[in-house]
Amino acid sequence: MSTKSILLIEYESQLREVLKTCLSELGHWKVTPLNSVSQGVELCRTTRPDAIILDTSTPEMDAILFIEQLKKYSMIHSIPILLMSSRASWFTSAQLKEMGFAGVIAKPFNPATLSHQVSTLLGWNDET
């Protein structure tokens, strides 16, 4: 069985490293960490990850435009996007699906259970 690949978009470098470690070491996935949504859009033109995890807190001026481009790409290629947000409780599952997201991960998150949470949200059932 092949290893799943995750595109991780997180602006904060320390949090990006923690997330990468949790997902690669505990989830056994190939993680490509980036620090901006615009970099994610560019990378998606040449690669096709199995999932995208996107932190909603970004200082990018055109973040909403880039997020819309990323969602368009993900819909065309059936790539689920998970949001990470301290405002996760603001959204219902139906609202997230309507906005084009597969689910949301609340911040702060538990590093020990993050990979299980991701695989549950994505329906991967702890596959590697």
Cα–Cα distance, 54 to 88 (Å, whole number): 13
Query: What pLDDT does 50 receive?
Result: 94
Query: What pLDDT does 62 receive?
Result: 61
| Torsion-angle region of 55 (φ positive above 0: left; ψ -120 to 50: alpha; else: beta) | beta
**53 and 8 Cβ atoms separated by less than 8 Å:** yes
Q: Which two three-digit tokens encode residue 95?
A: 């609202």
Q: Please, what are the domains in the chain?
A: 5-122 (3.40.50.2300)
pLDDT (mean) for 83-90: 79
pTM, to two decimals: 0.85
pLDDT digits (tens, 9 = 90+) for 19-48: 999 999 999 999 999 998 888 888 888 889
Query: What pLDDT does 78 receive?
Result: 85
